[in-house]
């Protein structure tokens, strides 16, 4: 607590609040989830905005709310429909966790999004940030909502030189926000500091001349704004090579596979992928037969794709293949004609393979 007091001792907190709130009121972007304070819409938007840019999220948000306009609609939806609407947005566990949590809200809270930190924080996929965003933005409670933008702004304003990549950092920044947040308008305060980080206090070349809280910023005063925040680099991503197979039968149907209900890209559909490093290219046809019970004849190479995840990189070689089978015995697999492929939720990498069909 003494550390927080030391960092804040020369900050005019009231003036900081007013400068930020006045700027936000004038400069806030017109975003669809800001049209009202519906906690369901704010919840959906905050989950979508995790690790995804605002401009990317807007059309997805519109589609999602059109398809599932209320919390009850989402709770009752088929998971495959939810994943299809989410298709292309990535980090699909967000969609599954959101739907599971919404089901819990219907079952345990009568369809009303909880407004206490304990109840809201107990829901699947609702971490400290999402909890704080919903409580402050929808319910106007003075709860911190600390994301990357907030940490960057405060690291510069308060000249915090700790590594923000450390797990303990977010808790520290939450404590700073608790001291700084406007008790009168916490909704606008939290959105304002996020907006400031998105529009002005950007990661590279921040536009300090336009910053409403420039007079409060210690990093600007010392000319070190571009050196903060300090963030250690993530581990290098592991590269994993696969052969992806576009297997077609005599009826011009393609084999697609449903991924496991757990783990990476859970419950999405894909074209079968062969781990080349493990089995070698020469044994590919035999591996497909032993793994899926499908006899194939490998055809020509159709192309290459690379797909980057946060922790690994898929290096995909795409091949045409044929089978004389018209029946599949592995429950993971389905035959689908070209037109039917669009009914299934595919990850981005496999959507891109459609051009080779």
Distance from C-alpha of 18 to C-alpha of 116, rounded to nearest angstrom: 27
Closest CA to 113 of 36, 49, 46, 40: 40
Is pLDDT above 90 for 3?
no
Phi, psi angle pair for 250, to nearest 5°: -70, -15
Is pLDDT above 90 for 340?
yes
> If pLDDT is split at 50, 70 and 90, which confidence band does 39 have?
very high
Is pLDDT above 90 for 61?
yes
> If pLDDT is split at 50, 70 and 90, which confidence band does 51 have?
confident
For residues 74-101, average pLDDT: 95
Distance from C-alpha of 164 to C-alpha of 272, rounded to nearest angstrom: 40
pLDDT tens sequence across 142-161: 999 999 999 999 999 999 99
Q: What is the mean pLDDT of the chain?
A: 93
Is pLDDT above 80 for 224?
yes
Predicted TM-score of the model (pTM): 0.86
Is pLDDT above 70 for 30?
yes
pLDDT tens sequence across 305-328: 999 988 899 999 999 999 999 999
Give the Cα-Cα-Cα angle 89, 92, 98 (nearest 5 degrees): 105
| Termini Cα distance of the chain | 61
Distance from C-alpha of 198 to C-alpha of 200, rounded to nearest angstrom: 6
Active-site residue, 46 included? yes
Local structure of 292: helix, strand or coil: helix
Catalytic residue chosen out of the listed positions 5, 46, 174, 226 = 46
Report the interhelical angle of 186-199 vs 148-157 (nearest 10°).
80
pLDDT tens sequence across 272-309: 999 998 888 889 999 999 999 999 999 999 999 999 98
């Amino acid at each position: 607590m003494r550390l927080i007091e030391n960092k804040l001792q020369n900050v005019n907190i009231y003036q900081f609040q007013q400068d930020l709130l006045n700027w936000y009121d004038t400069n806030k972007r017109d975003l669809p989830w800001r049209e009202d304070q519906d906690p369901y819409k704010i919840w959906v938007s905050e989950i979508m905005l995790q690790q995804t840019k605002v401009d990317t999220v807007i059309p997805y948000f519109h589609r999602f709310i059109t398809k599932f306009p209320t919390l009850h609609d989402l709770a009752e939806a088929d998971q495959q429909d939810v994943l299809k609407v989410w298709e292309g947005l990535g980090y699909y566990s967000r969609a599954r966790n959101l739907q599971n949590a919404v089901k819990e809200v219907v079952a345990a809270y009568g369809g009303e999004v909880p407004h206490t930190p304990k109840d809201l924080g107990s829901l699947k996929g609702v971490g400290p940030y999402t909890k704080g965003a919903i409580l402050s933005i929808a319910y106007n409670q003075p709860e911190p909502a600390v994301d990357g933008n907030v940490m960057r702004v405060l690291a510069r304003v308060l000249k915090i030189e700790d590594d923000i990549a450390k797990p303990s950092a977010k808790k520290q920044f939450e404590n700073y926000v608790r001291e700084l947040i406007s008790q009168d308008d916490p909704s606008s305060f939290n959105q304002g500091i996020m907006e400031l980080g998105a529009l002005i206090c950007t990661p590279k070349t921040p536009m300090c001349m336009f910053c409403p809280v420039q007079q409060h910023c210690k990093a600007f005063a010392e000319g070190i704004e571009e050196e903060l925040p300090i963030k250690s680099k993530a581990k290098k991503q592991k590269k994993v090579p696969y052969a992806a197979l576009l297997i077609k039968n005599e009826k011009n149907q393609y084999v697609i596979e449903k991924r496991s209900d757990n783990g990476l890209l859970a419950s999405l559909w894909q074209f079968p992928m062969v781990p080349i490093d493990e089995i070698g290219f020469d044994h590919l046809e035999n591996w497909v037969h032993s793994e899926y019970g499908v006899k194939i004849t490998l055809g020509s190479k159709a192309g290459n794709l690379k797909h980057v995840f946060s922790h690994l990189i898929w290096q995909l070689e795409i091949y045409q293949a044929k089978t004389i089978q018209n029946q599949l015995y592995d429950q993971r697999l389905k035959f689908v004609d070209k037109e039917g492929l669009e009914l299934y939720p595919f990850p981005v990498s496999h959507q891109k393979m459609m051009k080779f069909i």
